[in-house]
Structure 1
């Protein structure tokens, strides 16, 4: 038996793709329809790499790592193939901070370590430690330290207080 009206009730964008239009809080958690949420990041925006870094840093500084993740994800999907591991690693760090701020210690630590590993691998393979001014070594240290504290029972963390500096 099918529910004929179920697909009609889904949120869709102008092209007919399913999109969740529920408002979200600063950590990307869905809120009830009609609740006051924070502005969402538009998807699929192509930015220059330095513009990506500046916008993501502003979101991190505002305690909105979930939204910073979306900015990095745009760069990951739209950027050159050889840079995708860099942007994916940065997105994983932002999602790791998001989970840590939501109180998900296991998921937060896992994603922080995964992102740090991706950045370390990218740096080694590319032989570049500061692409677009990004302090990869500093981010790897930050992620490892935060992952250790989160696993050690400190949860949830304050996303604004724990926001990393992408450039030092």
Structure 2
């Protein structure tokens, strides 16, 4: 670990990039050092589209939308340019669900709508992605959390990604 001018240690990965080593809960919130946390998703994993969807669905079904967002982020960063908006939109849906589950209605609704707008630009729904159904789900959830429904249960609200 490197020390900053303030004297506080700064976590670094093996390449020297700043990375927080604090454990995280299932919604990606930092926990105190030494607390048990949920294992993080490895970063930079290149998967096939089918493997990306399967892994993200597994994580969503387990109530880990923050982790599913990281899987989609890998796909958008490593996939073909023509598919980036789809993967980016799916990542925004997952992180929108994360914020809604954390009780952040405004941020959750904004990201859910942004993701819905992004994926509906994909007219064909590649890889069996139910873009129309996901857009309806996202907009409905956004309206509910904005209406004051409170934090949502990420397991109960887990969307189906494919038809």
TM range (shorter): over 0.9
**Among 143, 163, 166, the residue aligned to 2:158:** 163
8 Å CA contact retained: 2:122, 2:131: no
Q: Give the aligned partner of residue 119 of structure 1.
A: 119
| Structure 1 portions without partners, runs of 5+ | none
**Among 5, 8, 12, the residue aligned to 1:3:** 5
Q: Give the aligned partner of residue 137 of structure 2.
A: 142
Q: Give the aligned partner of residue 146 of structure 2.
A: 151
Q: TM-score, normalised by structure 1?
A: 0.92
Spell out the pairing of 1:48-63 with structure 2 (5 A cutoff). Answer: 48-63=48-63
Provide the rounded CA distance (Å) in 1 between the counterparts of 2:86 and 2:162: 14
Spell out the pairing of 1:45-124 with structure 2 (5 A cutoff). Answer: 45-123=45-123
Secondary structure, counterpart of 1:164 in structure 2: coil
Spell out the pairing of 1:10-25 with structure 2 (5 A cutoff). Answer: 10-25=10-25
Provide the rounded CA distance (Å) in 2 between the counterparts of 1:139 and 1:41: 23
Provide the rounded CA distance (Å) in 1 between the counterparts of 2:86 and 2:107: 20
Superposed displacement of residue 151, structure 1: 0.7
Superposed displacement of residue 122, structure 1: 2.6
Provide the rounded CA distance (Å) in 1 between the counterparts of 2:6 and 2:131: 50
After the TM superposition, list the runs of 4 or more consecutive aligned residues in structure 1 that deviate by more than 6 angstroms: none
Count of aligned pairs between the two proteins: 160
